[in-house]
Amino acid sequence: MATIDVPEQVSVLADAEALRKACKGWGTDEKAIISVLGHRNAVQRKQIRLAYEDLYQEDLIKRLESELSGDFEKAVYRWILDPADRDAVLANVAIKKLSPDHHVIVEISCTRSPEELLAVRRAYQARYKHSLEEDVAAHTKGDTRKLLVSLVSAFRYDGEEINTRVANSEAKILHEAVKDKEFNHEEIIRILSTRSKMQLMATFNRYRDDHGTTITKNLEGDSGDEFLKTLRATIRCLNDPKKYFEKVLRNSIRRVGTDEDALTRVIVTRAEKDLKDIKELYYKRNSVSLDQAVAKDTSGDYKALLLTLLGKED
Amino acid sequence: MALPVDIEALDKAFSGIGVDEKSLISILTNSNEEHKKSLRKGSSKLFIEDAKGFERSDQSSIKILKHQFKRFRDAVMLSILHPWERDARLIEKAIRKGPKHYNVIVEMACTRSSDQLLGARKAYHSLFHHSIEEHLVTHIKGRERKLLVALVSAYRFDGPGVNEDVAKSEAQILYEAINNGEKNKLLDHEDAIMILATRSKQHLQALYQHYNQSYDKTLAQDLEGEGILKDTVECLCTPQTYFTRVLEAAVKEDADEESKRALTRVIVTQKEQLVKEGFVPNKIQDILLGLYKDFMLASIASGDIK
């Protein structure tokens, strides 16, 4: 379930005006920005941008970029984009790093629906004049590259059908791989990148039933090569995305010096999806609410925006 | 007694691609039982003398005849289906039928626009309740699998702005893969597959030019005999060469059934291109028959209708 709190009635014209007012003159009224944008869904945010452009012949995003700075600016920028466009930006940022953030690519390709991933690929092309898979291929190597390119190129069947025979045989294959660490990478990549999510759930369940432990538990504790890490992230995202996101949040906060990129990314991308469930998981796991943890670890306008997206009442 | 000219006409009615329906009507409806008997006796391809004293149909020839009659129907179906469903069904059939048909998968993946290929993938979900990739990996165990999966999964950028330096260096990568490595390992060459499967067509066409300039031969020439690798390069870089090749193979003297089917597929799906490039083999006029011929010629004639 979503966490953002959107009012019953919304006037995008009034919103555009309010944002204009917040940016005009000396200094910026960040609170006003948060109180408008933090309470609007994707459709409304898009309409506000159009209204703003209409009224003031200016791109709202560019204006905000120039007015704001730091983690707050990054968060607002990501929040205000269309979800597909946002994912394209996140993917590009991840790819272009000196040491690419493979897990972000995994996250985007495995936790979005097949149609959403297609939209991301389209948005990526529109922005960067390259295909997503092209850029991933050009910036990664070896088996990690094979896995990531397969994941971003996948267009999984989204039906409910499950083949138990397949679940059985593929659970075996995965178990062999995990146990021996003599991975037949081709087979694993094939299974994880082509099967439907329902089929994969059945396979993971079968794995758990056969071996008394979840596949992700069996993968834990390995530090190790990049492929293994990416593989772990893949299986976690496919197996239980909410749990995966809870872990990302937990790690991002726990670090000495918060990982704002990860924190922003998860909150912004899940606020309209399942952040509420993730919050529950967080509380169960850490005995402190995510709101509290974020409040403790962040400050200023950045903190205010995150808390608003988390559903805190103004 | 049937006249020799009738026997010849009957033979001719079945000896092209398609069937001469008008001729058959005229011969058969004007034949009494005597006539028909001598037609059968004179038609050594279709009938054999049975020991029990009658002219028995040769089943393998009759089977071939079924294909001939089916061509018009196939042309209609290919023509009327939504392109997404059409391409999805062609891919599914090719997967089922095996290695000799993999070029059809390459054709679908590489000669369609990015959005058309996406559409075919969506239609595939609806029709077959699996993704194309899933079926490919399930049914194809051979070394072609990697390339085919990569090709159908592509969503290539379509637009200008090729980085010529990259195109040139990737031409070199392919050159080295082909000429220094073992040729039969090409299908396992990760970099080659990545280049062919992820780069835009514009980029690959630039790469093709660089290859030609740098090495004095075309990439397609260097891939002679390499089956779907050559098909891939042709479909992406020089599609008219690929289609010409397919059409010419279809109208050859000893063309097999699959090659002939390609005729319908290419003419129906590529008619705009055919007209534009002006590359219909002349033999079509002579070798096609009946309603099927009418359909094919009319398709080409109307090719520039939008």
The predicted pLDDT at position B300 comes to 83
d(C-alpha A110, C-alpha A150), whole Å: 11
Helix (H) / strand (E) element for B48: namely strand B47-50
The predicted pLDDT at position B187 comes to 87
The angle that helices B239-250 and B102-111 make with each other, rounded to 10 degrees, is 140
Does the pLDDT of residue A277 top 90, yes or no?
A: yes
The minimum CA-CA distance between A194 and chain B, rounded to whole Å, is: 5
The predicted pLDDT at position A52 comes to 96
Of the pLDDT bands very low, low, confident and very high (cuts 50, 70, 90), residue A222 is: low
Q: Are residues A173 and A234 in the same domain?
A: yes
Q: Say whether B200 and A131 touch across the interface (CB within 8 A).
A: yes
The predicted pLDDT at position A183 comes to 61
The predicted pLDDT at position B15 comes to 87
Residue pair B181/B139 in contact by the 8 Å Cβ criterion: no
DSSP B229-283: HHHHHHHHH-HHHHHHHHHHHHTSTT--HHHHHHHHHHHHHHHHHHHHHT---TH
Of the pLDDT bands very low, low, confident and very high (cuts 50, 70, 90), residue A182 is: low
Q: Which residue of A has its CA nearest to B134?
A: A194
**Backbone phi, psi, residue B11, to 5°:** -60, -45
Q: Are residues A93 and A138 in the same domain?
A: yes
The predicted pLDDT at position B279 comes to 60
Residue A299 belongs to a domain: yes
- How would you classify the pairing of strands B288-289 and B17-18? parallel
The predicted pLDDT at position A179 comes to 74
Q: Does B165 touch chain A (CB under 8 A)?
A: no
- Sign of the CA dihedral running B127, B130, B131, B134: negative
Q: Say whether A131 and B157 touch across the interface (CB within 8 A).
A: yes
Residue with tokens 């995008």: A12
For residue A118, what is the domain's CATH number?
1.10.220.10
Q: Are residues A60 and A88 in the same domain?
A: no
Residue with tokens 């918060």: A258
Share of chain A above pLDDT 90, in %: 79
> pLDDT for A232-250, tens place per residue?
899 999 999 999 999 999 9
Q: Are residues A139 and A87 in the same domain?
A: yes
DSSP A75-138: HHHHHHS-HHHHHHHHHHHHHHSSS--HHHHHHHHHHS-HHHHHHHHHHHHHHHSS-HHHHHHH
The minimum CA-CA distance between B71 and chain A, rounded to whole Å, is: 32
Which residue among A239, A260, A278 closes a domain?
A239
Q: For Cα atoms B38, B42, B48, give the angle at the middle one, nearest 5 degrees.
A: 100
Question: B132 to chain A: which residues are within 8 Å by CB?
Answer: 155
Average pLDDT over residues A80-108: 95
Q: Say whether A137 and B194 touch across the interface (CB within 8 A).
A: yes
Does the pLDDT of residue A219 top 80, yes or no?
A: no
Residue A50 belongs to a domain: yes
Average pLDDT, chain A: 92
In whole angstroms, what separates CA A221 from the centre of its chain? 24
Range list of β-strands (E), B125-188:
none
Average pLDDT over residues A7-21: 92
Structural domain count, chain A: 4
**Backbone phi, psi, residue A204, to 5°:** -65, -40
The predicted pLDDT at position B282 comes to 73
User: Could you list the residue range(s) of the whole structural domain that residue A210 is in?
Assistant: 164-239
Residue A27 belongs to a domain: yes
| Closest by Cα among B108, B84, B111 to B95 | B108
Q: For Cα atoms A149, A154, A160, give the angle at the middle one, nearest 5 degrees.
A: 150
Q: Are residues A94 and A136 in the same domain?
A: yes
Residue A5 belongs to a domain: no
| Closest by Cα among B78, B140, B68 to B106 | B140
Q: Which residue of B has its CA nearest to A156?
A: B131
Residue type (1 letter), B102: Y
d(C-alpha A175, C-alpha A169), whole Å: 10
B237-to-A137, B152, B219 alpha-carbon distances in Å: 20, 16, 10
Q: Does A121 touch chain B (CB under 8 A)?
A: yes
Q: Say whether B157 and A129 touch across the interface (CB within 8 A).
A: yes
d(C-alpha A15, C-alpha A12), whole Å: 5
Residue A2 belongs to a domain: no
**Nearest by CB to A157, which of B131, B190, B198?**
B131
d(C-alpha B165, C-alpha B171), whole Å: 10
Does the pLDDT of residue A78 top 60, yes or no?
A: yes
Q: What sections of A212-273 are H helices per DSSP?
A: 215-219, 226-239, 241-254, 260-270
Q: Are residues A263 and A303 in the same domain?
A: yes
> pLDDT for B148-179, tens place per residue?
999 999 999 999 989 999 999 999 999 999 98
Q: Are residues A51 and A105 in the same domain?
A: no
Does the pLDDT of residue A83 top 60, yes or no?
A: yes
d(C-alpha A49, C-alpha A54), whole Å: 9
Q: Say whether A134 and B129 touch across the interface (CB within 8 A).
A: no
The predicted pLDDT at position B281 comes to 65
The predicted pLDDT at position B304 comes to 56
Does the pLDDT of residue A25 top 90, yes or no?
A: no
The angle that helices B33-42 and B4-13 make with each other, rounded to 10 degrees, is 70
Q: Are residues A143 and A105 in the same domain?
A: yes
Q: Are residues A169 and A146 in the same domain?
A: no
The predicted pLDDT at position B305 comes to 54
In sequence order, the 6+-apart residues with CB closer than 8 A to the CB of A126 are A88
The predicted pLDDT at position B303 comes to 66
Residue A6 belongs to a domain: no
Which site among A117, A122, A131, A165 would you substitute to test the B interface, given the most B Cβ atoms closer than 10 Å to its Cβ? Answer: A131
Q: Say whether B133 and A118 touch across the interface (CB within 8 A).
A: no
| Closest by Cα among B281, B169, B273, B186 to B224 | B186
The minimum CA-CA distance between B68 and chain A, rounded to whole Å, is: 36
Q: Say whether B133 and A149 touch across the interface (CB within 8 A).
A: no
Residue A314 belongs to a domain: no
Does the pLDDT of residue A255 top 80, yes or no?
A: no
Q: Does B159 touch chain A (CB under 8 A)?
A: yes
Average pLDDT over residues A87-91: 97
> pLDDT for A105-148, tens place per residue?
999 999 999 999 999 999 999 999 999 999 999 999 999 999 99
Q: Are residues A252 and A228 in the same domain?
A: no
| Closest by Cα among A91, A118, A78, A108 to A309 | A78
**Nearest by CB to A125, which of B157, B190, B197?**
B157
d(C-alpha B213, C-alpha A42), whole Å: 50
In sequence order, the 6+-apart residues with CB closer than 8 A to the CB of B66 are none
Residue with tokens 């960067």: A128
DSSP A186-228: HHHHHHHHHS-HHHHHHHHHHHHHHHSS-HHHHHTT----HHH
Q: Does B129 touch chain A (CB under 8 A)?
A: yes
* Ranges of chain B with pLDDT below 50: none
Question: A146 to chain B: which residues are within 8 Å by CB?
Answer: 190
Q: Which residue of A has its CA nearest to B151?
A: A153
Which residue among A212, A239, A266 closes a domain?
A239
The predicted pLDDT at position B51 comes to 93
Question: A129 to chain B: which residues are within 8 Å by CB?
Answer: 157, 159, 161
Q: For Cα atoms B2, B8, B9, give the angle at the middle one, nearest 5 degrees.
A: 90
d(C-alpha B80, C-alpha B305), whole Å: 15
Token readout for A66 is: 């120039």
Q: For the whole prediction, is pTM greater than 0.95?
A: no
Q: Say whether A154 and B133 touch across the interface (CB within 8 A).
A: yes
The predicted pLDDT at position B179 comes to 87
Q: Are residues A263 and A232 in the same domain?
A: no
Q: Does B116 touch chain A (CB under 8 A)?
A: no
Residue A78 belongs to a domain: no
Helix (H) / strand (E) element for B33: namely helix B33-42
Q: Does B88 touch chain A (CB under 8 A)?
A: no
Question: A125 to chain B: which residues are within 8 Å by CB?
Answer: 155, 157-158
- Please give the residue that has the higher pLDDT: either A309 or B184: A309
Strand, coil or helix: B50: strand
Which residue among A218, A239, A260 closes a domain?
A239
Q: Are residues A251 and A228 in the same domain?
A: no
In whole angstroms, what separates CA B198 from the centre of its chain? 24
